[in-house]
Structure 1
């Protein structure tokens, strides 16, 4: 198993729109995990309000 970037780079329907450098940039975790800590904090706050 390769990376997500490798899988996307092997797809002609992706590479007709994006070069490998762009695919790498778009799939780099530091570019899409920026709000993860805030999202976790919000989920924890909401979980306290849920009763079963």
Structure 2
């Protein structure tokens, strides 16, 4: 039974709905090839976020 419970927690995303402010912090997961350059991925993520009118600059 413990193994089944542990597997469930490692295979499912849990979201904490307790919020103390209006900001929403999100998570994005990318499944990429091991040869992908992390700096290129970060730069593209920054570009996309900065282009969004929803970003509050924090």
TM-score interval, normalised by the smaller of the two chains: 0.3 to 0.5
Query: TM-score with structure 2 length normalisation?
Result: 0.30
TM-score (norm 1): 0.33
Structure in which a larger fraction of residues adopt helix: 1
Higher RCO (CA-CA < 8 Å; seq separation 6+):
1
